Amino acid sequence: MSGAGGASASLEIFEIDDAGNWPMELEVEGLPPPASGALYQLWLTQNGKLAALCGSFLVEADGTTVVPMNAPWRFSEFDGWVVVEAGSQAPVLST
């Protein structure tokens, strides 16, 4: 994923577990903490619109974080990934 100002993220998806969840690890660089103090959220998209929430996270003061997540979604039903500030529809990172 990439965004303005050189912000970037990578998402590693691991083997599905017995319950049907996909463990993931999100690594973010260069994404400043929101001035509003809000969380960031990772979403799956359908036709460019937010469709399925995969989790929320904060970043360090230097704009980095590594956070484990999981999601029960069938990824084939979606067409992209985005990161937004909670409460916003505007992506700050996208695939």
pLDDT the model gives residue 77 = 94
pLDDT the model gives residue 66 = 98
**Bridge partners, 83 (sequence order):** 42, 93
Task: Give the global pTM.
Answer: 0.93
Residues contacting 44, CB < 8 A, separation 6+: 51, 52, 54, 71, 73, 75, 78, 80, 81
> DSSP string of 10-35?
EEEE----TTS-EEEEEEEES-PPPT
Query: Tens-of-pLDDT digits for all 95 residues of the chain?
Result: 999 889 999 999 999 999 999 999 999 999 999 888 899 999 999 999 999 999 999 999 999 999 999 999 999 999 999 999 999 999 999 99
